Amino acid sequence: MKREVKTKANSPAAVLGSQESYRQLVDSVTDYAIIMLDQDGHVVSWNPGAERIQGYTKREIIGKHFERFYTTEDVRRGLPGQDLKNAAKIGRVESEVLRVRKDGTQFWANVILSPLRDQEGTVRGFAKATRDLTELKRAEETARLASTYNRSLIDATLDPLLTIGPDGKLMDVNGATEAVTGRTRQELIGTDFFDYFTEPERARAGYQQIFRDGSVRDYPLELRRSDGQVVSVLFNASVYRDEAGNVIGIVAVARDITERKQAEARIQQQSREIMELSTPVMHVWQGVVVAPLIGSLDSQRTQQFMERLLDRIVETNSPVALMDIMGVPAVDSQTAQHLIETVSAVRLLGAQVVMTGVRPAIAQTLVHLGIDLSGIITRSSLSAGLQVAFDILEMQVVPKDKRL
């Protein structure tokens, strides 16, 4: 009797306490396989969680060795025995390992193995709690993939992309941001966003605008590179929120428009040059210069034109200047005033202007504006103007066979 009691007291169930309430608790757990093993690793207790996770019924498994839960490879390496030994020695072994179900499929499991001791401290068996990590692993993999996807999206963006926290510090940047600032990700993250601009106050104002309006479009700023060079950028940015709708930061994309700006400057320079080229003054005949005006005439351009025309008249000692306005799209009173001034200045030199290329529309405009050009010789075509020039110079163009 005493022996029987002792045996009972030394069995794992007895050690853990054979209370009914405890069994009920273990039986109600379905997320964990909670089982007990004897000293050698034979299954002595089995709960519904174990049946759900590992596939064996209680009847099938009681008395079977627990090595069947290990992969063939792990069994070959002697892991089942080693785990029991370690558990007995260390007290508790927790591992994340591959396990095998009844149907042979493998799954990731979190396994905790603890020794069960009697009153004398002798190991009488083991308690084993196993959790199926399949779902967790899948979720982790999904998250990892999503993160990789996001990261590669960010890095694949050719334009500098960055995220800024509500404190104005850079949270993340991509490769293009590294390239445009000339600084590495490590150098940039955590630093003050505004400090990288030639006008930090303007950058701050844009940042505040994003919080106020939710976004900004084409906000122009100038970024100072680590080498001191200044890069012109346009920012498009918006706030981003957590699931509860709270703003947790700003996503901003910058577009480097330095090249575009340089191209614009080049175009401006070219159009200035073309403007100068487009007011040539040609010495077409002894004593005659021709100045074709092309394009609209503003004050500055007319001024330049007047100076060039006068210089050429003096240089070539030409008493007649043909000013052709065929290529002038429109004449307003301001333009007409400039033309009259030019004519007056030419007269002061001792030369005469013949205005040619007066198209019907221009003639109508001049009359309707009430502009008096009566003191100026005008002709509708350049060839008619040239005839006037020859008359003034008392010259005549005669066909070859009519000459003496």
> How many CB atoms are located within 10 Å of the residue 393 CB?
15
Please provide the size of the chain in residues.
404
CA separation for the pair 163, 65 (Å, rounded)? 56
If one asks whether residue 395 binds another protein (CB under 8 A), the answer comes out as no
The smaller minimum CB distance to another protein, of residues 96 and 311, is found at 311
CA separation for the pair 382, 388 (Å, rounded)? 10
Token pair 């063939």: residue = 72
If one asks whether residue 317 binds another protein (CB under 8 A), the answer comes out as yes
If one asks whether residue 356 binds another protein (CB under 8 A), the answer comes out as no
Among 94, 259, 350, 361, binds another protein (CB under 8 A): 350
Which amino acid is located at 239 in the chain?
A: V
Q: What angle do CA 203, 206, 207 make, to 5 degrees?
A: 85
The smaller minimum CB distance to another protein, of residues 210 and 321, is found at 321
Q: Please state the closest distance from residue 169 (CB atom) to another protein, in A.
A: 34
CA-atom Rg of the chain in angstroms: 47
Token pair 């405009």: residue = 365
If one asks whether residue 351 binds another protein (CB under 8 A), the answer comes out as yes
If one asks whether residue 319 binds another protein (CB under 8 A), the answer comes out as yes
Q: Which range touches another protein (CB under 8 A), out of 74-82, 161-169, 340-348, 378-386?
A: 340-348
The stretches of 157-257 forming alpha helices (DSSP H) are: 175-181, 185-188, 200-213
Q: Which range touches another protein (CB under 8 A), out of 65-73, 154-162, 315-323, 395-403?
A: 315-323
If one asks whether residue 329 binds another protein (CB under 8 A), the answer comes out as no
The smaller minimum CB distance to another protein, of residues 21 and 396, is found at 396
CA separation for the pair 118, 44 (Å, rounded)? 16
How do beta strands 352-356 and 377-378 pair?
parallel
Among 314, 361, 367, 369, binds another protein (CB under 8 A): 314
If one asks whether residue 349 binds another protein (CB under 8 A), the answer comes out as yes
Q: Which range touches another protein (CB under 8 A), out of 124-132, 341-349, 359-367, 375-383?
A: 341-349
On the CB side of 240, CA atoms within 13 Å amount to: 10
Q: Please state the closest distance from residue 317 (CB atom) to another protein, in A.
A: 6
Q: Which range touches another protein (CB under 8 A), out of 55-63, 250-258, 313-321, 368-376?
A: 313-321
Which residue pairs from 97-104 have beta carbons closer than 8 angstroms and sit at least 24 positions apart in sequence?
98/71, 98/74, 99/54, 99/69, 99/70, 99/71, 99/130, 100/68, 100/69, 100/70, 100/71, 101/53, 101/54, 101/55, 102/54, 102/55, 102/56, 102/60, 103/55
CA separation for the pair 392, 386 (Å, rounded)? 10
> What CA–CA distances, in Å, run from 85 to 78, 90, 270, 282?
11, 8, 87, 108
Q: Please state the closest distance from residue 230 (CB atom) to another protein, in A.
A: 15
If one asks whether residue 310 binds another protein (CB under 8 A), the answer comes out as yes
CA separation for the pair 250, 162 (Å, rounded)? 8
If one asks whether residue 276 binds another protein (CB under 8 A), the answer comes out as no
The smaller minimum CB distance to another protein, of residues 244 and 348, is found at 348
Among 302, 318, 335, 378, binds another protein (CB under 8 A): 318
If one asks whether residue 230 binds another protein (CB under 8 A), the answer comes out as no
Run of H or E including 382: helix 382-392
Q: Please state the closest distance from residue 350 (CB atom) to another protein, in A.
A: 4
The smaller minimum CB distance to another protein, of residues 21 and 300, is found at 300
If one asks whether residue 346 binds another protein (CB under 8 A), the answer comes out as yes
If one asks whether residue 306 binds another protein (CB under 8 A), the answer comes out as yes
The smaller minimum CB distance to another protein, of residues 60 and 264, is found at 264
If one asks whether residue 270 binds another protein (CB under 8 A), the answer comes out as no
If one asks whether residue 97 binds another protein (CB under 8 A), the answer comes out as no
Of residues 122-181, those binding another protein (CB under 8 A): none
CA separation for the pair 105, 366 (Å, rounded)? 97
Residues that bind another protein (CB under 8 A): 306-307, 310-311, 313-314, 317-319, 341, 344-351
